[in-house]
Amino acid sequence: MDLTTTYMGLNLKHPVVPSASPVTKNLDNIRRLEDAGAPAIVMYSLFEEQITKESHRLDHFLSYGTDSYSEAMSYFPDLNTYNVGPDEYLNLIQKARAAVNIPIIGSLNGISSGGWVEYAQKIQEAGAHALELNVYYIPTDPHLSGGYVEQMYLDVLADVKEACTIPVSMKLGPFFSSPANMAHRLAAQGVNALVLFNRFYQPDFDLENLEVVPHLVLSDSNALRLPLRWVAILYGRVPVDFAITSGVHTHEDVLKGLMAGAAVTMMTSELLQHGLKRINEVVADMTRWMEEREYVSVKQMQGSMSQKNVAEPAAFERANYMKVLQSWRFDPTGSLF
Amino acid sequence: MNRELVTLDANEAAAYVAHKTNEVIAIYPITPSSNMGEFADAWSVLGQTNVFGTVPLVQEMQSEGGAAGAVHGALQTGSLTTTFTASQGLLLMIPNMFKISGELTSTVFHIAARSLAGQALSIFGDHSDVMSTRSTGWAMLFGNSAQEVMDLALVAQAATLESRVPFLNVFDGFRTSHEVMKIERLSDEDILAMMNSDHIAAHRGRALNPDRPVIRGTAQNPDVFFQARETVNPYYLATPEIVQKTMDKLAGLVGRQYRLFDYVGAPDAERVIILMGSGCETAEETVNYLIEKGEKVGLLKVRLFRPFSVEHFLQALPATVRKMAVLDRTKEPGAAGEPLYQDVMTAVSEDYSNGQVYSPFKTFPKIIGGRYGLSSKEFTPAMVKGVFDELNQDKPKNHFTVGINDDVTHTSLSYDPDFDIEPDYVVRAMFWGLGADGTVGANKNSIKIIGEETPNYAQGYFVYDSKKSGARTVSHLRFGPKPIHSTYLIRKASFIAVHQFGFMERFDVLENATPGATFLLNSPFGPEEVWDQLPREVQQKIIAFKMKFYVIDGYGVAKSAGMGNRINTVMQTCFFAISGVLPREEAIEKIKETIKKTYGRRGEAVVKKNYAAVDETLANLHQVTVPEAVSSHIELPPVVPAAAPDFVQKVTAEIIAGRGDALPVSAMPVDGTFPVGTTQWEKRNIALEIPVWDTDLCIQCGKCVMVCPHAVIRSKVYDDSYLAAAPETFKSADARFKEITETKYSLQVSGDDCTGCRLCVEVCPVKDKTQAGRKALNMADYPDLREAEKKNWDFFLTLPEFARTDTLKFDSVKNVQLLEPLFEFSGACAGCGETPYLKLLSQLYGDRALIANATGCSSIYGGNLPTTPWAANKEGRGPAWSNSLFEDNAEFGLGMRLTLDKQREYALHLVERLRDVIGSELAADIIKSEQTDEAEIFRQRDRIELLKKRLAGRDDFASKDLISVSGALTRKSVWIVGGDGWAYDIGYGGLDHVLASGRNVNLLVLDTEVYSNTGGQSSKATPRGAVAKFAAGGKATMKKDLGLMAISYGNVYVAQIAMGGNDVHTIKAFLEAEAYDGPSLIIAYSHCIAHGIDISKGLQQQKLAVETAHWPLYRYNPLLKAQGKNPFQLDSRPPKIALKDYAYNETRYSMLLQSDPDGAAHLMSQAQQEITERWKKYEQLAKSQD
């Protein structure tokens, strides 16, 4: 069985890749991921904003109250080094390169044009095989047009592509007026892969205290549907690799993703919930499934159920929606089932 | 050899040599010497070695006494060992100092000399401390500037090894210890060249060693002790020559020649001043000036004060000397003269009685002695000239003072205060700023730039007021082509910068301006508008002196650059741009280099925002066209309101206004006793925003009133008839208290006293149902509210205080809010976590409390002039407060209780004896009164008044004595208050003893888990994993469980509380502790600026500390035992969140995560484990029946 796949020019032994998550924050876990069968590793994201905020915070509290009172010119020893820059992240990439034999994909979230380029270059210099741009951007300004936001994505990509030689993917949210057009323009700008989709963190309300609270909800297989559709739609039409990164929990999810056209499927929630061993288990299940149905390779099935390759292309469009709606039955007790 | 030129202060200079030449360093913080220990610790943490190639071992101790003991032990076992201290700290070392010198042991202690506490504590500099050690047998070397301190530290180190006599390396606290100067740093080669390996080997050879045992420290009897004591004489006799030889050797290396007594001045001088310390610098400057004017004057600088070499002293003086004035920077009440005067007098007299062996004089000179400069009092050229002028008198005044106006015993010399000798080539600049705006830090950087990047010599000295919030700073910067010896504040400045516009109405900021001076003002008003906003006097001065006037909206630029309220970089750039010290471009480049050096480690983003501030500054700096005529009608307001009492008007106001130096001796209380409640007269108006009350939303819970650290937010209930006289904007609501008859409730803020800390807003539990972000208190801009709120506050004060004897029980937050606070408007940090507990104490027991307060934050914000926060109620009752020392506070408070107990016993005896005079019914009532509630205490007070009336006019001893001790018949509440440095470390022995005494005292530990007052040094209360000074790698041991140790006595009431964790629990603990007729210990979590938190979130952090079980709440009440119950009540729930979720909100923990992630993780994991284990232990205690 040939499980190999090619993602951004990287030859991977199978398509079940752990996606960017806190799991990759230390070297031991990275080694454990390799041992668990990961074909590549997407590092956790380096957030430029976090670096900046940490710097400002440290500066604020080390300065606060200083040189104000004759008995206490300061309140803390000024230590020799603080890892407030990207060094910790870059060092980890370097160490990971030395420690494992699988490709390391850096992940970056910038806030300034200079920051994107500077940190992208540093990640490349640290030895990353590829770079994922995690454009985690929430456009809250009502005066900001969709076109402007789209151009920001394109500009970031252009800047980074110009500065770096390693392959660059872009992780997108689903909130574009015309995702297909956006994918097309990114491809034209040289993106090597699109990672669909970013599950933006959704804040929750604490009703007791009337506060907005962070609330992390891990995905389940239902979340697969959204990227599945869009990869299926884009596959073969936009000449880049695709990664599916939401709702990948089982071998069935992986198979679906591949059939939609993904070069790789990326997994986090499953690993956080059930352990790193799930990579090998999913791969084994997938292999068994493929053997039972006499598939010989992953490549064989990639895109096989993309919109352009299915019998009913309309299933990905409006008709499908109407069909789903009509399938609901009304429950006179008031609940839907 | 090219030696590095550096700008540093003497603390760093001394610590540098100490760290380079020692192996073991024992440290303990005390101002102004703490920095030396901090430097030594930091260098060792960084792995910096001494000149022998090994990293000195630095050990923090629990007190200076402990440090001296550890030093003694390390010396006795052969280490090169040192320590640093000052003031009372040095006094605690005296017992060991006798031992160390008696055993002829080589060591140097570095002393930033400071006043001793007598009528008051002072952190500032004089020689009282070192002079108190004269009999210990230690040599004393005085350095007068940072350069001299570094050089003489090395001389002392080399000389002690050769002579075997231990040395104090002395320099003046603050004036020298904190004055930043450009100096030449000794190289490792210099230091090594001065170290004699044979002497070091001999030192080690004398060490205790079981391989060749000796016994040292025997007890001797009358037969031999005396002789043994005399054995050391040859060593002392040899020491002066050894020191001189060492000084000569250093001169050979570095070119700076010192002598035991350095004479400067005319070779044919007739009048000579003799002194030691930083005043010598000013005296030398003045002598040189006077010589140029043709006067025959000179100065003898005493460097080696002990052993005092009569020979060297006399031979250092010109034969022409006819008159000498000996100046001492200390006072010995009752002595025939101060120490140096006595030594000089003895030396001259002795030599004359010996037939003039050494003295070259033609006749016995006239010698007078005087005092100067106590507690860093200014010592200026004018005063030096005043002394020389006095020597010109036929009968010069002896035992004089100079620098003050002694209108009581008329000791003071008069002098011309306008006498000025500062040369024009010295540029003098003054900067008025706030602590929070970064002015001092920027000026320290400017000094570095000027000192290290230009050929100029530079000097910086910084003056702070005594407040911890809204503190004013004045920076004094001098620079010029020649070394600077002016060890006094700038009196005439060619550049004055005012970084706070509000100062224009509060201080005479241009007082020191010279004609043609440049004036830079940070102003929200632009160059066109600013003129009309200046007070009339300021306009007059600018015009009359033809000053060049510049403005910048520093806060606007800082905000735009992302600097918040730190205008340091902006104003620094302005200074360089206007002053022309360096070409503009070069200056900006240097500023940026310094920014990179200073902030680079904190991250690129910090550097960038500072760069942005520099770049945006020049475009926003404007010269103001000064009109020809004065146009302002703005007058400087009075310092204190007209309603202030006479003492406040005449004395306190002068101190507030910065004119305290001019107050005469007669203005000051003779014994350090001051009226209470004076903070109410010092309206500082430092809040930019204040809380505003929403009457509709408020549920009158009282949480805001309870938590306000400055007692500026208060509530009252009253009848609505009072509202008839209320100002228009005064707010009220219907009172929501079931048990009372008053119908109205008001919550009022004193905006002029508020610090804008937001704790009240954060604690407010109410949220608007239509707008969740809105509370019953919301911050609003104060300037818009000020006029109205001042009137409202004044009206609020006229409303009656709630009667303590009414029906309400004061056991809830809601009810306690109605009790009048007798601790108000302190100068504590904005958002202080300690003061809410003290305010609560004052509300519950203030009218009958005696408070013993350990030295530390609470003694400073509680007792530092000009104004103090402990207040009295309308009946004149309030907390009687005193601070004795740092180390003795528990004992001090116990002494108060002993008096009360004894006097009560005696008074009861007298009541019995005088029953017939008093009336037997009254006597019986007095005797049987238990006073367990407020009403009964009030009744007892009435009885005592009646008793006094009945005894009035009687002339018998017993009656008079009963009147004088009758106060003890009403119940008093003794509170022993202090921080963790006192309770866990320096005062622990006493605290333990007082707990064991069984006496009825209440100990309140305001636990910030660090030495807050001296700047964040680790104590035994510091938790594992927290970074503190002296624990830069994170505290590696666990926090001491003080509560559990006290519980082990079984008869001590113990409570661990956190107001933010459970405020009702806090009140309960206070009530139970006070009610318990025995020792009580309350350990109160106090969030602190030294935790590195957003202080407005202090209560949330307290809550988290409780929820993680870092700070479990509990009470141990021995009374429950008698009821057959478990005395230990665990009052908080089992931990539900991890320690890190609390800890990493605080910089003290998170900075370690950033600097040493693995180390931090290790310590955090250990700390978590300990907390879990401790919780289990507490649960067991709570379950077990004692």
pLDDT in tens, B370-381: 999 999 999 999
Strand B323-328 relative to strand B304-306: parallel, antiparallel, unpaired? unpaired
Using a CB-CB cut-off of 8 Å, the residues of chain A touching B447 are: none
Is the bond preceding residue B669 a cis peptide, omega within 30 degrees? no
Long-range contacts of B903-908 (CB under 8 A, 24+ apart): B903/B965, B903/B967, B903/B968, B904/B968, B904/B969, B906/B961, B906/B965, B906/B968, B907/B962, B907/B965, B907/B966, B907/B968, B907/B969, B908/B969
Tokens of A288: 């068994």
Contact (CB, 8 A) for B884 and B892: yes
Name the closest residue on chain B to residue A63, using Cα atoms.
B438
Do A85 and B1092 count as a contact with CB atoms less than 8 A apart?
no
- Site of tokens 């005479």: B508
Class assignment of domain B1009-1183?
A: alpha beta
Catalytic residue among B38, B64, B682, B887: B64
Write down the domain spans for chain B: 5-253, 259-402, 427-623, 676-819, 890-969, 1009-1183
Please state, in angstroms and rounded to a whole number, the distance separating the CA atoms of residues A148 and A315: 32
Tokens of B92: 């605690």
Please state, in angstroms and rounded to a whole number, the distance separating the CA atoms of residues B152 and B40: 18
Please state, in angstroms and rounded to a whole number, the distance separating the CA atoms of residues A262 and A243: 5
Using a CB-CB cut-off of 8 Å, the residues of chain A touching B864 are: none
pLDDT higher than 50, residue B925? yes
Alpha-carbon Rg for chain B, nearest whole angstrom, is 32
Please state, in angstroms and rounded to a whole number, the distance separating the CA atoms of residues B399 and B338: 8
Using a CB-CB cut-off of 8 Å, the residues of chain A touching B35 are: 73
For the stretch B1106-1153, pLDDT in tens is: 999 999 999 999 999 989 999 999 999 999 999 999 999 999 999 999
Predicted pLDDT at B1096 = 96
Mean per-residue pLDDT, B264-272: 98
B1124-1160 burial string, b = 16+ CB within 10 Å, else e?
eebbbbbbbeebeeebbebbebbbbbbbbbbbbeeeb
Confidence bin at A139 (pLDDT 50/70/90): confident
In CATH, B5-253 is 2.60.120.10: no
Do B441 and A67 count as a contact with CB atoms less than 8 A apart?
yes
Do B1015 and A59 count as a contact with CB atoms less than 8 A apart?
no
For an interface test with A, which of B87, B858, B1089 has the most A Cβ atoms less than 10 Å from its Cβ? B1089
Predicted pLDDT at B470 = 86
Predicted pLDDT at A208 = 87
Please state, in angstroms and rounded to a whole number, the distance separating the CA atoms of residues B1164 and B1152: 10
- In Å, what is the CA distance from B948 to each residue of B560, B914, B961, B964? 69, 12, 11, 9
- In Å, what is the CA distance from A35 to each residue of A18, A92, B731? 13, 18, 70
Name the closest residue on chain A to residue B444, using Cα atoms.
A67
Please state, in angstroms and rounded to a whole number, the distance separating the CA atoms of residues B796 and A336: 62
* B900 DSSP β-pair partners: none
Catalytic residue among B7, B83, B107, B114: B114
Confidence bin at A87 (pLDDT 50/70/90): confident
Mean per-residue pLDDT, B501-518: 94
For the stretch B78-125, pLDDT in tens is: 999 999 999 999 999 999 999 999 999 999 999 999 999 999 999 999
Mean per-residue pLDDT, B1004-1027: 97
Predicted pLDDT at A121 = 96
Alpha-carbon Rg for chain A, nearest whole angstrom, is 22
Please state, in angstroms and rounded to a whole number, the distance separating the CA atoms of residues B651 and B866: 9
The partner residue sitting opposite A68, judged by closest CB among B32, B473, B604, is B473
For an interface test with B, which of A52, A69, A91, A212 has the most B Cβ atoms less than 10 Å from its Cβ? A69
pLDDT higher than 70, residue A321? no
Catalytic residue among B7, B11, B22, B31: B31
Using a CB-CB cut-off of 8 Å, the residues of chain B touching A62 are: 602, 1092, 1147, 1151
Domain B676-819 adopts which CATH fold?
Alpha-Beta Plaits (3.30.70)
Q: DSSP 3-state assignment of A45?
A: strand
Please state, in angstroms and rounded to a whole number, the distance separating the CA atoms of residues B606 and B205: 53
Predicted pLDDT at A336 = 43
For B180, phi then psi, to 5°, come to: -85, 125
For an interface test with B, which of A48, A49, A70, A206 has the most B Cβ atoms less than 10 Å from its Cβ? A70
- In B534-600 the beta strands, taken as DSSP E runs, fall at 548-552
Mean per-residue pLDDT, B907-918: 97
Among B217-231, B453-467, B721-735, name the one with the lowest average pLDDT.
B453-467
Q: Is B786 a catalytic residue?
A: no
DSSP element (H, E) containing B251: helix B233-254
CB-count exposure of residue B435 (10 Å: 0-12, 13-18, 19+): buried
For an interface test with A, which of B434, B467, B606, B1148 has the most A Cβ atoms less than 10 Å from its Cβ? B606
A interface residues, B as partner, C-beta within 8 Å: 51-52, 54-85, 88, 210-211
Contact (CB, 8 A) for B1098 and B1087: yes
Q: Is B31 a catalytic residue?
A: yes
Mean per-residue pLDDT, B188-216: 97
Do A51 and B603 count as a contact with CB atoms less than 8 A apart?
yes
Tokens of B32: 């102004």
DSSP class of B935: H
The partner residue sitting opposite A75, judged by closest CB among B32, B860, B1016, is B1016
Q: Is B1013 a catalytic residue?
A: yes
CATH superfamily of this structure's domain B427-623 = Pyruvate-ferredoxin oxidoreductase, PFOR, domain III (3.40.920.10)
The partner residue sitting opposite B1154, judged by closest CB among A72, A77, A82, is A82
Confidence bin at B1036 (pLDDT 50/70/90): very high
pLDDT higher than 70, residue A318? no
Name the closest residue on chain B to residue A52, using Cα atoms.
B605
**Over chain B, what is the mean pLDDT?**
96
For B1016, phi then psi, to 5°, come to: 85, 40
Name the closest residue on chain B to residue A68, using Cα atoms.
B435
Please state, in angstroms and rounded to a whole number, the distance separating the CA atoms of residues B460 and B595: 19
For the stretch B141-168, pLDDT in tens is: 999 999 999 999 999 999 999 999 999 9
Minimal CA separation from A112 to chain B, in Å = 12
Tokens of A6: 């090619």
Do A77 and B1148 count as a contact with CB atoms less than 8 A apart?
no
pLDDT higher than 90, residue B288? yes
Tokens of B1150: 């998170």
Terminal CA-to-CA distance of chain A, rounded, Å? 41
Contact (CB, 8 A) for B125 and B114: yes
pLDDT higher than 70, residue A327? no
In CATH, B259-402 is 1.10.3720.10: no
pLDDT higher than 50, residue B766? yes
Predicted pLDDT at B708 = 98
Confidence bin at A326 (pLDDT 50/70/90): low
pLDDT higher than 80, residue B807? no
Predicted pLDDT at B803 = 87
Domains B5-253 and B1009-1183 share a fold: yes
State the number of CA atoms in the 13 A half-sphere of B377 facing the CB.
20
DSSP class of B995: H
Do A55 and B606 count as a contact with CB atoms less than 8 A apart?
yes
pLDDT higher than 70, residue A319? no
The partner residue sitting opposite B1089, judged by closest CB among A52, A75, A77, is A75
Terminal CA-to-CA distance of chain B, rounded, Å? 74
How many beta carbons lie within 10 A of that of residue B166, not counting itself? 24
Domains of chain A (ranges; CATH) run 5-304 (3.20.20.70)
pLDDT higher than 50, residue A335? no
Contact (CB, 8 A) for B1128 and B1186: yes
Tokens of B150: 């570094």
Minimal CA separation from B1093 to chain A, in Å = 7
Tokens of B711: 């007692």
**What ipTM, to 2 d.p.?**
0.93
Predicted pLDDT at A334 = 45
Please state, in angstroms and rounded to a whole number, the distance separating the CA atoms of residues B1032 and B1015: 13
User: Chains A, B: CB contacts under 8 A, how many?
Assistant: 147
Do A65 and B1089 count as a contact with CB atoms less than 8 A apart?
yes
B849 residue type, one letter: A
Using a CB-CB cut-off of 8 Å, the residues of chain B touching A66 are: 435, 441
pLDDT higher than 80, residue A317? no
Please state, in angstroms and rounded to a whole number, the distance separating the CA atoms of residues B319 and B309: 18
Using a CB-CB cut-off of 8 Å, the residues of chain A touching B1093 are: 61
- In Å, what is the CA distance from B195 to each residue of B1, B48, B169, B201? 18, 19, 17, 11
Please state, in angstroms and rounded to a whole number, the distance separating the CA atoms of residues B811 and B697: 24
DSSP class of B116: P
For the stretch A5-31, pLDDT in tens is: 999 999 999 999 999 888 898 899 999
